[in-house]
Structure 1
Amino acid sequence: MSEPSATPSSTDPDEGDLPRWLRLRHSPTLKAVVAGLLLAASMPPWGWWPLAFIGIAVLDRLLAGTTWKQRLYRGSMVGWALFTPTVFWIVQLTAPGYVIAVLFFGFLLGAFCIAVPPRAGRALGLIGVWVLCESLRAAWPFGGVPLSMLAVGQVAGPLSAVARIGGVLGMAGVTVALGIALSALSTRQWAKAGALVVVALVVVGVAVVAPNGTPTGKEIDIALVQGGGAQGTRAINTDRRKVFQRHLDASAKVPPGMDLVLWPENVVDTDFAVQKAQEGVELQELARRLDAPLAVGTTEGVSDTRFRNSQQVLDAQGNWGDRYVKVQRVPFGEWVPFRSLIEKVAPDTLASRDATVSHQSGLLRTKAAPLATVISWEVFFGHRARSAVRAGGQLLYNPTNGSTYTGTFVQTQQVANSRLRAIESGRWLAQVAPTGFSAFVSPTGQVHQRTATREQAVRVRRDVPLRTGLTWYTRYGDTPWRLAAAWLLAGAWLLAWFSARKGRSAMERPPRAGA
């Protein structure tokens, strides 16, 4: 896709007041790439969150006074520059899938940018369009791929409290508003910039004083068990017994008297129900030895084409209890969309079996506390944690397995999403992984006792408060923000229509006598 040629009508009246480096006639393609890279750098693992405001400001200038083809091209370029580095880890699942994801999601942003009015109403339109685009990506395709959301970077900054009332969509809206305010300052539109900043400050202020859950008065002692081991491994070429044994060995370090012991996702891998396997017997012995409820991640064979990914509970006497089966599966990791088609071109890169799907809330009952459970990928979805908390969860539990991925790219993104879920729900969160990161996260998003990757470790936190009550986000979800975004976009085009009508009337008005 090449930059459509500019026309005289596509120039922006504000551009003459811009600094030379921001003027659109100086390489809009390069500026679009820079805008996307700035947005990427605001997110983990880099996490330079203020850069998001500059990236949005550059995007706003790029859309000013343009044709729809120019908005499609420039928005797509921004998207491709954003997604190319931030979803690179997908290569370790499927290299062709990575290329397709970058091209598709970048083009999707460009397509949404078409809906931004190029002149009057542009600020409202860009806010609405960005929120609606992120909302769509959180639900489609393949049940949602909510990667590279603005909130993942902003959770490290002063806007984090907004998650309590608006989740990732509310945070995105405020971030875009502040980016447009910066753009307005660059063109000396003081009133516009001031109004946007005031609105953002009001939203942040409301979020700070909004309900944040209520302590139950009960506190529990929790141990997180990380077995350690190499990263960049797959189940197909990993000795599953060694993975299980590492966690048994690490559990020997769990101090006596714990109220709850938590293991990561799918570190117990059996060809059939775990209760019938030797590992099941050893887990029962471990629970009795620790004299504490034990939650473990199990992968159980169901058939030649299906497996079950779940978290299961044993009580302190070694009896099997509650089970939660994962709802939100990783596309191309835990299930393969269009398998019959893709197997013809890339059979060796696909998982041989698909995970089953449940329709459970995510609530996992233990004697110590009801756990709002989000397994691995599910922590990227606000609605999954919300479902489990509304079902009665008083502590968030995120068992995960990032050992497939080398480095800390995925791991840092997951910690950022765990912080978002803790803030959104007003709950403490326990994240535990076989090779890192494992950590505790407070309801304000502070990370405590994070492990390193590959190490064998047990993290103990005493007196973790259990909480009840609903935040505004947990109560109302994303719907109010989707509706607000739609209204902003409609209002933007109404302003654009009035402005165009006023301009035509001024041109058609006959000159006054003697003029």
Structure 2
Amino acid sequence: MTKLPQRVFLVYGFLTPLLLGLAMPGRVGFWPLLFVALAPLLHVCLFLPPKKSCLLGFAAGFLYHLFLLYWIVIVVGRYGGLPLYLSFAALVLLALYMSFFWGLFCLLLSIFAGRSWHRERSISTLVWLAPVLWVALDYLRSFLFSGFPWMDIGYGLYSQPRLIQAADLGGHHAVSFALLLSNSLLVAIIDRQRSNVRWNIRMERRLLLLACGFLVFIFGYSFLRYDVVSRAVSRGLHSKIAVVQGNVNQAEKWTPEKKEQTVATYVRLAEEVLDQRDTELVVWPETALPFYLQSDPLASRIAQFVIANNIWLLTGTPAYTITGTHPDGRRDVDYFNAAVLIDAGGRLAGQYQKQHLVPFGEYVPLKKYMPFLSPLVVSVGDFTAGQSSAPLVMGKIRMGVLVCFESIFPEIARASTGAGANLLANLTNDAWYGRSSAPYQSMAMSVFRAVENKRSLVRAANTGISGFVDPVGNIIKSTELFVPTALARQVPLWEEETIFTRNGYLFGACCLCGVVAIFLFRRRGA
């Protein structure tokens, strides 16, 4: 057993959230720390008993997520209207939920790979189990309670496209796996420096060499894939597309008297980049039109704009569908957070309805079974989730649409690409986040949707960050926060289907199944 005092393990445990916080996108974003940040926590799990490992992992996760998700206070306080103490309580509750997975990770890792009761337990067990377990829990969090896969560790490498091309094999989970393996291998290298270590254990040595080989494969593949795809994309089809960032004040956006001014703002900004008459498509953000386009007189103003400029328009707007009428005249109506495609003749050419709604933001979960939640429906909205991932078609362009935080769910972009999309369009309104780290984190996750499917991604955000991402993850051009801007760029349209699009999205599920199998095997052998 290690002779290090308990307070040293406490320092180790809290060193991880500090390093990881400095590494992730936002105020600092020093990405090289990702390769070492989790090593102190892994060292804790190697030597402390399971219960102590769990508690320290939970505390470290709580501290990290307070740092990562502090913008929740801005969202529910400034824009949600809650007092400061309730806003902070919302942050604490979310951080507690997220830190549960850290505590569970440390508990299981200590049980299955720790040395709290076996001094010379093979370090290779920890080296391989840590990435499998971490990715399994990330995957579980992606769908549990509707899912909140915010800023998994792999996303921290978004600014280094040469390092993340393996995402087209196993999604962002494959990159997270490689980072965890790098951290656990560092722990193994340090551990193997002990004078009493026995290097003649052949299986352990082979497993450690296999870990090194896996990392060489992942990052070697990424370097080669980046060069190959970049050359192929440069020779393929391109289309000139414009994005508009209106920077419309969130507090005034939905007031009836401001909607005409909002339309005028978007039209004016768009026309600033349409002077060369070679732009084919203009993209406006989520709910850029704060009214029902299908029944509002301002629809004619939109039609005039696209006809006069001979362009197509993709824009966010609320929409509704009448599903039935009662004898007394009452109507059943489904409301959607939608994106509509308007052709150059001013006609509706397609509509996408947001599939993954924000709980307690766009709908109230379990409202049918808990009538006392009905008042919340009035305050937060009552949208219906869309069902289709079919692309919106504009000649050679087939767009897979991601509305708002749908960009953090890999399955939605993958389904659209599998259905034939050769371009991804993310329409969002990140004004809720204020001048925090959240817009940078949101952009980071969007980059991976492009890399996983090898599709260009066009992003239009009300207050930023808007821009263009090519199929290998280069951010071609992006905007500053809270600046009215319009950008136009030639965007590659690529057709090749990746392994991720076909079946690589199952990588996280395989890790979860592996952990279950290990647990069952241990129980049976106990």
TM-score band, normalised by shorter chain: 0.7 to 0.9
Aligned residue in 1 for 2:52 = 70
Indicate if the aligned counterparts of 1:439 and 1:450 stay in contact, CA closer than 8 A. yes
Q: Which residue is 2:283 aligned to?
A: 262
Matched, 1:201 2:216: yes
Q: What is the match of residue 506 of structure 2?
A: 479
Matches within 5 A, 1:157-168: 157=160, 159-168=163-172
Structure 2 residue aligned with 1:276, among 290, 295, 300? Answer: 295
Q: What is aligned with 1:127?
A: 131
Contact 2:168 2:500 in 1 (8 A): yes
8 Å CA contact 1:177–1:196 kept in 2: the answer is: yes
Residue 48 of structure 2 aligns to a residue whose secondary structure is: coil
CA distance in 2, matches of 1:472, 1:24: 48
Alignment partners' CA distance in 2, 1:193 and 1:496? 26
Instruction: Tell me what 1:320 maps to.
Output: 348
CA distance in 2: counterparts of 1:448 and 1:310, whole angstroms: 27
Structure 1 CA distance, aligned partners of 2:34 and 2:416? Answer: 31
Partner of residue 228 from structure 1, selected from 243, 247, 256: 247
3-state secondary structure, aligned to 2:339? strand
Shift of the alpha carbon at 1:476?
Answer: 0.8
Counterparts in 2 of 1:89 and 1:169: CA distance versus 1, 3 Å: same
Contact 1:332 1:350 in 2 (8 A): no
Deviations 1:386-438 (A, max 9, x none): 01111111111111111122104221012111211111011111111121111
Q: 1:149 is matched with which residue?
A: 152
Structure 2 match to 1:451: 479
Aligned partner of residue 412 in structure 2, secondary structure = helix
Q: Which residue of 417, 422, 426 maps to 1:398?
A: 426
1:333 equivalenced with 2:367 (yes/no): no
| Counterpart selection for 2:319 from 286, 300, 312 | 300
**Distance of aligned partners of 1:28 and 1:325 in 2 relative to their CA distance in 1, 3 Å threshold:** same
Question: Is the contact between residue 364 and residue 373 of structure 2 (CA under 8 Å) also seen in structure 1?
Answer: no
1:184-206 deviations in whole A, cap 9, x for unaligned? 22223595765433221112234
Distance 1:480 1:147 in 2: 18
Change (3 A) 1:318 1:305: closer
| Partner Cα distance (1:343, 1:107) in 2 | 30
320 and 408 in structure 1: CA distance in 2 versus 1, 3 angstrom threshold: same
CA contact (8 A) 1:138 1:146 kept: yes
**Are 1:125 and 1:489, in contact at CA under 8 Å, matched by a contact in 2?**
no
Structure 1: distance between partners of 2:35 and 2:519: 21
Instruction: Give the C-alpha shift of residue 458 in structure 1.
Output: 1.3
* 1:493–1:217 Cα change, 3 Å: same
Q: Which moved more, 1:311-320 or 1:242-251?
A: 242-251
Question: Which whole-Å CA distance do the structure 1 matches of 2:486 and 2:475 have between them?
Answer: 16
Deviation at 1:218, TM superposition (A): 2.5
TM-aligned CA distance change 1:167 to 1:233, over 3 Å: farther
1:39 counterpart residue number: 20
The correspondence for 1:140, drawn from 138, 144, 158, is 144
| Distance (Å, rounded) in 1 between the aligned partners of 2:519 and 2:224 | 30
Residues 260 and 292 in structure 1, CA contact (< 8 A), matched pair in contact too: yes
Q: 2:102 is matched by which residue type in structure 1?
A: L
Give matches, 1:425-504, under 5 Å.
425-462=453-490, 464-484=491-511, 486-487=513-514, 490=517
Cα RMSD (Å) of the superposition?
A: 3.2
Instruction: Write the distance in 2 (CA, Å) between the matches of 1:136 and 1:461.
Output: 38
Q: Contact 1:260/1:368 (CA < 8 Å) preserved in 2?
A: no
| Counterpart residue identity of residue 506, structure 2 | T
Question: When the two structures are superposed, what TM-score results if normalisation uses the length of structure 1?
Answer: 0.84
- Show structure 2 runs of 5+ residues with no match: 77-86, 116-120, 194-198, 200-204, 322-330
**Once the two structures are superposed, what CA deviation does each residue of 1:364-383 show, in whole Å capped at 9, x if it has no partner?**
12235111111120111111
Correspondence for 1:29 among 10, 14, 18: 10
Q: Greater CA deviation, 45-54 or 374-383?
A: 45-54
Question: Percent identity over the alignment?
Answer: 24
Deviation at 1:66, TM superposition (A): 3.0
1:339 shift after superposition = 5.8
Seen in structure 2, the aligned counterparts of structure 1 residues 212 and 448 have a Cα distance that, compared at 3 Å, is closer
Contact 1:292 1:315 in 2 (8 A): yes
Give the Cα–Cα distance (whole angstroms) in 2 for the partners of residues 339 and 43 of structure 1.
Answer: 36
Instruction: Name the SS for the 2:380 alignment partner.
Output: coil
Counterpart for residue 92 of structure 2: 99
Cα distance in 2, alignment partners of residues 380 and 90 from structure 1: 16
Return the offset for 1:340. 8.8
> In structure 2, do the counterparts of structure 1 residues 459 and 417 end up closer, same or farther at CA, with 3 Å as the change threshold?
same
Q: 3-state DSSP class of the match of 2:351?
A: strand
| Contact 1:233–1:404 (Cα < 8 Å) also in 2 | no
Structure 2 CA distance, aligned partners of 1:187 and 1:274? 64
Matching residue within 170, 177, 183 for 1:173: 177
Task: Report SS of the residue matched to 2:47.
Answer: coil
Distance across 2 between alignment mates of 1:346 and 1:41: 42
Among residues 186, 205, 212, which one is paired with 1:182 in the alignment?
186
Among 46, 54, 61, the alignment partner of 1:79 is 61
**Kept after mapping to 2: 8 A contact 1:266/1:299:** yes
Single out whichever of 24-33 and 387-396 deviates more from structure 2: 24-33
- Is the 1:335–1:355 Cα contact (8 Å) retained in structure 2? yes
CA contact (8 A) 1:57 1:179 kept: yes
Q: 1:115 aligns with which of 93, 108, 121?
A: 108
- Shift of residue 452, structure 1, vs aligned partner: 1.2
Equivalents in 2 of 1:237, 1:411: separation in Å?
27
Deviations 1:197-251 (A, max 9, x none): 3221112234455695975943211111121244687747994444333212212
* Aligned AA (1:80): F
Distance in 2 (CA, whole Å) between partners of 1:401 and 1:169 is: 26
One-letter amino acid matched to 2:288: V
